[in-house]
Structure 1
Amino acid sequence: EAVRRVLLLGEGNFSFAASLCGAAGTHVVATCYESEEEVCGRGRAAESIRRLREGGAEVVFSVDCTKLKDYFLPEEREFDCIYFNFPHCGRKAGVVKNRELLAHFFHSSAEVLTEEGEVHVALCNGQGGTPADQPRREWHNSWQIVAVAAEAGFILSNVHPFKAETIHGYKCTGYRSQDKSFCIEGALNHIFTRSTPLPYFKPMICEIELESRKVSFQVPQILVDKINRGFLELNSNHPVRAVKEKLTTELNQAFPLQNIDCCLSLLHQGHLNGVCHSNIFWIILSPEESPSTEEMSNGVANAVLFSHVDFCKDTDKNGSVNVQEGCHISKQYYLRPSLLPYAQAIIQRGGFLPGTIHVLSGPVFRKCLISPYSMPVFHEVVFVCAVNRGTENSCIQMLVNSIKTSIHSLHQTVSGSKLSINLQEATSFETTELNDFAAFESQLSEIQYFICMETDTSGSCEKGSCVGIIRTELIGSELVVVFASFNLDLLAMLICGISDWRMLWTSDTRFLRQFLRGRLRLFKSFSLYPPSYVHDVSFWVPDGEQFDEVAFHTIARQVSGEMVVSIQLIDSFQQSETGRKSLCYRLTFQSCDKALSRQEVAEMQLLF
């Protein structure tokens, strides 16, 4: 069994190190800043040092915590845990100097810590500057430990009280073992882990066969890491798949079920009547030869091959493609914003069994404003059922009851909080009350009902809680088709208590480790109190153009790599003489899963 190597820094009387010594499978390396002569003349230090050495621990003196790699050979630099209790520059050093000490310490720790290692830093109450401190100091008067650690690539993964009374033999000392000890009442232990690095995405090229020609298109940059993640595949443990499987399993007890397992096209061709074009990811197809194998191997582009690509086209009664005269073919293509056209195509082809629910699922893509619950890509599931005219209401009720049962069942296994699911008539909503998912769906075609979900609240349906919609369509004179569409990502977030859609797409393995074998649970963030940085952007709106706010938010997503969490208009100005308009927006940068430094944000800001 591997031995766990533990490094302790800034030990005063070595009583903390002595309390850890002797633990099975642990090798302790205890250090202090002073020389051996200085330390051994103080209190109980000599006794603790003797116990450490007898227990097989290493004791090293005159160690500078900002230059750790200088004290250990390369093969000895792999520590599983580093402890630094109550660091301090000494005397009346202010918060700025202590921040600098922590900054150098974290950079130094990164050079001697294992990839899965932890850094424990105990601070007096209020020093850290996080919401865990009670009372909490003003930010400028704290040590800003989370922001300082982020500069070295660390995230705060846990924080808990430092309970000195539970540590056998431990006695806190002051700076350099002075008689006056630190006040440790309410002290906190901050546990940091390494962050995954900020992503750098190479251009991704998708290749397809079109009219006997090989053509390609470049994936929009903000979707490069989301285009082919396979969250719904059989071997996936992702909570989005767990939600889908629960919904379909429950529905299968009330209806015969048929999964549409054919490959659904990633692209649509044609026009979207009634849909705001600002919400669409338009794609320009290039008929030129796609990148060569050599170019791809050299990192020029990543290629994703989509086989069985069928384009959903606007056709007339004779099956001919309708293309507006003078409109270039490349302008007709866009990433699918909905699976509804595929469901409608099944009905139009007559390829359905009355009374059977047909299930379609997959990612869809929609440009939208930036907010924690508004996502430019999410997984949609559409349930389609054709029934005899006059029985559609009972079909809808059975479907909704099955959905309620499955969601309640999932929620009860995750949390004991209150949950309500309501079927709301679409006519009871104003457009401004709809979340982005429901607002876009209402552009596609008429909606009869919204399915709304609330947790820990009661009363009317709140904005942001619409997770599904139901619409009906008359086929001939005898059949009515019921379409039920659900946002699986939003359902997973509400059930598991995930407060930021970006977490669903994280590359950090600590996310999926919480959902082993697809079992849902209440999500516990592995990045606590991430630092945020505020910057303002001002610009003139080009003459004769109408400002597109969705396009501006999309640019913010692109240049920041989805690190912008909030955009607010704080000022606007219009020249009376020329009519020119100036806008000023306030952008808040924050990552939900990665270390984000002030310098990295400043570099992103320059890209606007």
Structure 2
Amino acid sequence: MESGAAGPVAQEVLAAVDKSVCNIPDNVLAKVDAKLHNAGFHPIATIKERIVAALPAETVVVDALSPVVSTAANFDSLGFPADHVSRSKSDTYYINSETVLRTHTSAHQVELMRAGHRQYAVFGDVYRRDEIDASHYPVFHQAEGVQLFDKEQLAATHDLGSEAAIGAWLEADLKGSLLKVVESVFPGELEVRWNEDYFPFTHPSWELEVLYNDAWLETLGCGIIHPDVLTRGLGADAAKRSVGWAYGLGLDRLAMILFNIPDVRLFWSTDERFHNQFTSRELVQFKPYSKYPPSYRDVSFWLPAGDGAYHVNDFYELARTIGGDLIEDVALIDEFTHPKTGLVSHCFRINYRSHDETLTNEFVDSLQHKLRIAVVADLGVELR
């Protein structure tokens, strides 16, 4: 990693890096100061502002917190078990053994409670290692909201005589409040449905789906804040007197659907043909300005023996590091187990395609050659 002209968050990352642990590639580091959720009329910023407009006036809006957080804040404070898969380096970007790029904006929940905030909405960029296709990117954006209540005041104000009655009121308040948020984002009349869900930091928990363009769209997750989280954020005594609800939603997926943007990479484009289409908070429909041809290349290799020696996300991350946003998608098209050795082979098909120009075969071949060398050197596989 090179510091160069890195912004403040990148400098914060670089100052904390333990090279023996850090798994953040330069192409991800280059994004940490972009803050698309605050970028003028960018579609992601518009989704954020439409949500903010629907929030009660007393809601504290927090949108400039650093994505560099401790593992304690990102996982422990929210009740993630020690063996939860999201803690692995195949899923999360580690700066050092105790510091990560946040995987969700909920990483600030306990911090903001301790700061005295009882009604807030936090917006920010989050980071996860993931597959490569038109809807997945290592950087995306989330909103998280929290509303806390004093149980005695709640009971007196609304004549609630039992814990069960308070719980029923909380559920109704949560769902009613979130319907207002969703109505501010989606155009027209809405049909919605609530499904039970699970999150480590809320119980009970629900998922809200919206019927949009004849398909049910998972829009947000929410629930009643777990007492353990309240205790961590408020202290034992205050937690006993408090109840609350929380929700989280992704901005990028909503922006893709509502603006009809077909490829998540476009959010990161510097092409004015993209940005000039968005000059207000209206949900204008994106007009494609290019469709350059794809260029497919395959790579096959034997996986290293031994559990934990290889994870498919390691390959995706390596492909992103070499091909960057020139890779539209990567698909695992074949998986084969050798009948004698028991070794497993993976064959991936990589689609190289730019939004800005036609890629020559010679250029794509050069990227593919670099990738083939890197998978052997970095992942310990054997090419087929």
TM-score (norm 2): 0.75
The 1-side partners of 2:67 and 2:335 are apart by 42
- CA offset at residue 513 of structure 1? 0.6
Higher Cα Rg: structure 1 or 2? Answer: 1
Equivalences for residues 525-540 of structure 1 within 5 A: 525-528=288-291, 530-540=292-302
Query: Which residue does the alignment assign to 1:179?
Result: none
Return the offset for 1:251. 1.9
Structure 2 matches for 1:100-111, cutoff 5 A? none
Shift of 1:340: 0.6
Q: Which position in structure 1 is the counterpart of 2:352? A: 589
The match for 1:487 is 250
Task: Return the letter of the residue paired with 2:341.
Answer: T
- Residue deviations 1:103-144, cap 9 Å, x none? xxxxxxxxxxxxxxxxxxxxxxxxxxxxxxxxxxxxxxxxxx
Residues 377/557 of structure 1: CA separation in 2 closer, same or farther (3 Å cut): same
* 1:358-507 map, 5 Å: 358-387=120-149, 388=151, 389-390=166-167, 391-408=169-186, 411=187, 420=190, 422-427=192-197, 442=199, 448-458=205-215, 461=216, 465-473=217-225, 474=227, 475=230, 476-507=239-270
> Secondary structure of the equivalent of 2:277?
helix
Q: 1:262 to 1:569 in 2, by over 3 A?
A: closer
Q: Which residue of 1 aligns with 2:92?
A: 280
Q: Deviations over 1:391-431 (max 9, x none)?
A: 211221222221232023xx35xxxxxx745242234xxxx
In the alignment, is the contact (CA less than 8 A) between 1:275 and 1:444 conserved in 2? no
Match of 1:607 in 2: 370
> What residue number does 2:62 align with?
260
Residue number in structure 2 paired with 1:178: none
Match of 2:286 among 497, 507, 523: 523
Q: Whose RCO is larger (CA < 8 A, sep 6+)?
A: 2
Which blocks of at least 5 consecutive residues in structure 1 are unaligned?
1-200, 284-329, 413-418, 428-440
Q: Deviations over 1:465-516 (max 9, x none)?
A: 3232112213434432211111111111111011111111111122111111
Q: Does 2:383 correspond to 1:571?
A: no
Q: Which residue of 1 aligns with 2:35?
A: 230
Query: SS in structure 2 opposite 1:544?
Result: coil
Structure 2 CA distance for aligned equivalents of residues 471 and 362 of structure 1? 20
* Paired letter, 1:425: N
Matches within 5 A, 1:130-141: none
Q: Deviations over 1:154-211 (max 9, x none)?
A: xxxxxxxxxxxxxxxxxxxxxxxxxxxxxxxxxxxxxxxxxxxxxxx9776633499x
1:551 deviates by 1.5
Shift in Å, 1:241: 1.2
For 1:444 and 1:481, locate their aligned partners in 2 and report how far apart those are by CA, in whole Å: 12
Secondary structure of the residue aligned to 2:276 is helix
**Aligned equivalent of 2:305:** 543
Q: Deviations over 1:337-388 (max 9, x none)?
A: 11112123323x26134xxx30111100011111212221111111111134
Instruction: Describe the SS at the equivalent of 1:402.
Output: helix
What is the deviation of 1:449? 1.4
1:338 matched to 2:99: no
Whichever residue aligns with residue 179 of structure 2, its letter is N
1:450–1:222: structure 2 CA closer, same or farther, 3 Å change rule?
farther
Q: Percent identity of the aligned residues?
A: 22
Rate the CA distance shift 1:477–1:232 in 2: closer, same or farther, 3 A: same
The answer to whether residue 71 in structure 2 is matched with residue 269 in structure 1 is yes
Aligned residues: 325
1:516 counterpart SS class: coil
Give, in angstroms, the shift of residue 541 of structure 1.
0.8
* Displacement of 1:560: 1.0
Question: Do the aligned partners of residues 570 and 249 (structure 1) sit closer, same or farther apart at CA in structure 2, a change above 3 Å counting?
Answer: closer
Describe the shift of the 1:236–1:350 C-alpha distance in structure 2 as closer, same or farther (beyond 3 A): closer
Unaligned 5+ segments in structure 2 are: 76-80, 152-165, 231-238, 372-384
Q: 1:563 to 1:426 in 2, by over 3 A?
A: farther
Q: Indicate the residue corresponding to 2:43 in structure 1.
A: 239
CA contact (8 A) 1:526 1:593 kept: no
- Give the Cα separation in 2 of the matches to 1:221 and 1:448: 37
Deviation at 1:517, TM superposition (A): 4.0
Query: Could you tell me how far apart the structure 2 residues matched to 1:594 and 1:484 are?
Result: 41
Q: Is the 8 A contact 2:141 2:250 kept in 1?
A: yes
Taking structure 1 as reference, are residues 257 and 594 closer, same or farther at Cα in structure 2, changes over 3 Å only? farther
Amino acid of the residue matched to residue 341 of structure 1?
A: A
Q: CA RMSD in A?
A: 2.9
User: Is the aligned partner of 1:221 residue 2:26?
Assistant: yes
Tell me, in whole angstroms, the C-alpha distance in 2 between the residues paired with 1:373 and 1:275. 22
**Does structure 2 conserve the Cα–Cα contact (< 8 Å) formed by 1:535 and 1:587?**
yes
Aligned to 1:316: none
| 1:257 Cα deviation from its structure 2 partner | 1.4
Q: CA deviation at 1:519?
A: 3.9
What secondary structure does 2:171 align onto? helix
Amino acid at match of 1:466: E
CA distance in 1, matches of 2:350, 2:202: 34
* CA deviation profile, 1:259-298 (whole Å, cap 9, x unmatched): 2366345232347432431210122xxxxxxxxxxxxxxx
Tell me the TM-score normalised to structure 1 length.
0.49
Structure with the higher fraction of residues in helix conformation: 2
Residues 575, 503 of structure 1: CA spacing in aligned structure 2 closer, same or farther, 3 A cutoff? Answer: same
User: Residues 521 and 202 of structure 1: is their aligned pair in 2 closer, same or farther, counting only changes over 3 Å?
Assistant: farther
**How far apart, in 2, do the equivalents of 1:557 and 1:514 lie?**
27
